[in-house]
Amino acid sequence: MPRSLVLASGSSYRRDLLGKLGLAFETASPDIDESSLPGEAPDDLALRLSQQKAEALAPMFPDGLIIGSDQVAVLGRQRLGKPGSRENAVAQLLLASGQTVTFLTGLCVYDARNGIGHTSLDRCRVHFRPLSRAQIERYVDIDQPYDCAGAFKSESLGISLLARIEGDDPNALVGLPLIRLTELLARCGVAVV
């Protein structure tokens, strides 16, 4: 009997990415506290939140395979969250101009039937071109990346801000590493092809 697959996210970006795999799935938004713990490293935070998101939906989907994902963007020692406003997006991109931002994407496939979570972490380094304030403001006004960590959309005009990307999976930068997800699903008996 096929297991129900659940995406623990309200993100349209993650929903669209998972749709690329051609699997039937449901979505539900988990209600968790996404604050970091004192002294918590960014990679630990991304992994912990991805697992908490998946586990939070287990009571609703007791027979499901639940996919949780969370992304943390880091510039030096500073976390870059979702900017939420034009002003914050411009400020983040001014910081990122000519710099490298690391995107850590935690992933968990949680088997609610047996309580086992399979996790993975994707690391993607994004090298920004040197950008003027005018370029940044023009970009922000066009793409309005207010709900994106790092304040840009690589799948859209935001790609023009970049010098290069170092990573294993371009989908991870958008929020769901499909290569690693396919591997974790296979561990749970779900073949994509």
* Token pair belonging to 153: 């959309």
Whether 120 is in a domain gets the answer yes
pTM above 0.85, yes or no: yes
Phi first, then psi, for residue 107 (nearest 5°) are -140, 140
Range of the domain at 101: 5-187
**Domain of residue 59, CATH code:** 3.90.950.10
Q: Strand, helix or coil at 77?
A: coil
- Please tell me the distance from the alpha carbon of residue 190 to that of residue 185, in angstroms, as a whole number: 5
Whether 114 is in a domain gets the answer yes
Whether 107 is in a domain gets the answer yes
Contact call for residues 102 and 116 (beta carbons, < 8 A): no
pLDDT one digit per residue (tens) for the chain, 193 residues: 567 999 999 999 999 999 999 999 999 999 999 999 999 999 999 999 999 999 999 999 999 999 999 999 999 989 998 999 999 999 999 999 999 999 999 999 999 999 999 999 999 999 999 999 999 999 999 999 999 989 999 989 999 999 999 999 989 999 999 999 999 999 999 988 8
Whether 25 is in a domain gets the answer yes
* Token pair belonging to 101: 């931002």
Whether 192 is in a domain gets the answer no
Known catalytic residue at 16: no
- Cross-strand partners of 117: 110
- Unique residue bearing structure tokens 């930068």: 173
- Please tell me the distance from the alpha carbon of residue 38 to that of residue 42, in angstroms, as a whole number: 11
Question: Rounded to the nearest 5 degrees, what angle is found at the Cα of 105, between the Cα atoms of 2 and 153?
Answer: 105
Cα 22 to chain center, whole Å?
20
- Please tell me the distance from the alpha carbon of residue 179 to that of residue 171, in angstroms, as a whole number: 8
Whether 70 is in a domain gets the answer yes
Whether 37 is in a domain gets the answer yes
Whether 193 is in a domain gets the answer no
Of 33, 44, 63, 70, the active-site residue reads 70
Number of domains in the chain: 1
